[in-house]
Amino acid sequence: MRETLRAIVCPNLYTERLLLRPFEMGDAMAMFGWACDPEVTRYLRFHVHEDISESKRVISHWIDQMKNPPFFHWALTLRETGQVFGSMGIEVINKTDRSGEVGYCLSKHMWNKGYASEALRAVLHFAFNTAAFHRIQGCHAIDNPASGKVMEKAGMVREAGPLRHWYYSDILGYLDSNMLVAFSDTWQDSGR
Ligand SMILES: CC(C)(COP(=O)(O)OP(=O)(O)OC[C@H]1O[C@@H](n2cnc3c(N)ncnc32)[C@H](O)[C@@H]1OP(=O)(O)O)[C@@H](O)C(=O)NCCC(=O)NCCS
């Protein structure tokens, strides 16, 4: 019988340094810390949060969505301190085809410590081995090569690009993008 995406509740994921867990309302202040920063959001689809109430609204929406699986969105936290410093999620593109797209963002002071690629490896492992995704893609603006590097370090490979005006940023307008991809039957956790 044809396999379908599993409607499982978004679980905690553990890596060496991180705990990825579903968002809680108490994370709103931490989220506002990165969502109000135009340097963080410039390559993202969502606009800069002007008030913490916007962060509360987003988290409340995610908590609601979580009750209706499959919906996968995690707060990135440090295992050692519990500090919440970013978010990562898989948007389901098509349940029957078992395809999804990853997205992520981190507070600026946490960049370039290997956290995004460490988290993404755990997310891909979950996506292929537990949730039964077959294809996971990710897009990054041409001018945001660090995001492409994150996906490469997590074992994704470039499939297409530059894709003209692939998505719209409130700050920069339409952005050209590269697409990277990984598949359940060939992805290997590089552990890098
Ligand atoms: C993109 C982002 C998630 C990276 O997170 P991170 O935790 O710093 O990523 P990692 O440390 O795991 O890896 C980043 C890699 O990119 C490299 N890098 C950083 N800036 C770079 C640049 N301008 N050009 C090329 N590579 C760059 C780093 O050196 C590192 O590679 P290395 O480990 O081989 O040295 C983070 O910068 C961020 O949240 N940016 C704002 C939101 C965003 O752009 N999200 C992605 C949207 S597609």
> Could you tell me the residue ranges of all domains in the chain?
13-183
**What span, in angstroms and rounded, lies between the C-alpha atoms of 22 and 88?**
10
Percentage of residues in the chain having pLDDT higher than 70: 98
Per-residue model confidence (pLDDT) at position 24 = 98
* Architecture label for domain 13-183: 3-Layer(aba) Sandwich (3.40)
pTM of the model: 0.97
Closest CA to 163 of 101, 96, 94, 104: 101
Mean pLDDT across 73-101 = 97
pLDDT band for position 47 (cuts 50, 70, 90): confident
Q: Name the residue at shortest CA distance from atom 29 of ligand 1.
A: 112
Mean pLDDT across 17-39 = 98
Mean pLDDT across 170-189 = 95
Is 78 within 8 Å of 17 (Cβ atoms)? yes
From the CB of residue 34, how many other CB atoms can be counted at a distance below 10 Å? 22
Mean pLDDT across 141-168 = 97
Closest CA to 186 of 122, 135, 139: 135
Mutate to test the pocket of ligand 1, among 37, 150, 152, 156 (most ligand atoms within 8 A of CB): 150
Q: Name the residue at shortest CA distance from atom 43 of ligand 1.
A: 105
- pLDDT exceeds cutoff 90 at 190: no
Q: Name the residue at shortest CA distance from atom 45 of ligand 1.
A: 105
**What span, in angstroms and rounded, lies between the C-alpha atoms of 105 and 89?**
10
Per-residue model confidence (pLDDT) at position 2 = 76
**What interhelical angle do 115-129 and 145-153 show, nearest 10?**
50
Q: Which residue has the higher pLDDT, 47 or 59?
A: 59
Atom index in ligand 1 nearest the CA of residue 105 equals 39
Q: Name the residue at shortest CA distance from atom 18 of ligand 1.
A: 146
Whole-number Å distance, alpha carbon 4 to ligand 1 midpoint, is 33
pLDDT per residue over 3-16, tens digit each? 889 999 999 999 99
